[in-house]
Amino acid sequence: MKLDDIATLYVGNLKDMLDAERQLTGALPRLAKKAGNAELRAAFEEHLEVTESHLEQVEDLLEAATGSTRAKNCKGMEGLIAEGREILDSDGDADVIDAGLIVAAQKVEHYEIAAYGSLRALARMMGDENAADRFGAILDDERAADEKLSEIATAMVNVEAAASGRS
């Protein structure tokens, strides 16, 4: 890809995030199914609904920018999901596996926070305040999901996982 202007950079990142959200909609149900902690399972199920909304918004923004919803392979998300799959395929203590699922999910959230923050900044640079506002709302959702995972980890899952290792 030849990067001669900010719009090209913006569109490339939009295409990347479209694929990232598509990958996530496939991965989140598997995380929810593997989660032993009911609150963690519910958080994954809730975030799937939010992710589906983000997917639709990114499709809309990409179509508005290019007239197409053709994505490009998001290698970053692919790698994060592959790491998460290692936890999904693990045997062992259910509490420790739940802690691992949270680690994997928070890596994804942090990736999305970085990506959507960058997209918001690019949209602003191009004078597209509507897109910038939409990315800001998505960013708020991703930060809230990350915070919820942190709360579940520190209040329950990590405590239980640490206790499991002592028995």
Contact 88, 44 (CB under 8 A): no
* Range(s) of the domain holding residue 84: 6-166
Mean pLDDT, residues 41-70: 97
Tell whether 109 is covered by a domain: yes
% the chain with pLDDT above 70 = 98
Tell whether 98 is covered by a domain: yes
Please tell me the distance from the alpha carbon of residue 152 to that of residue 143, in angstroms, as a whole number.
14
% the chain with pLDDT above 90 = 93
Tell whether 38 is covered by a domain: yes
Tell whether 1 is covered by a domain: no
Domain count across the chain: 1
Q: Which residues, including other chains, have CB under 8 Å from residue 163's CB and lie 6 or more apart?
A: 95
Is the pLDDT at 167 greater than 60? The verdict is: no
| CATH number for the domain that contains residue 125 | 1.20.1260.10
The 3-class SS string of 22-47 reads HHHHHHHHHHHHHCCCHHHHHHHHHH
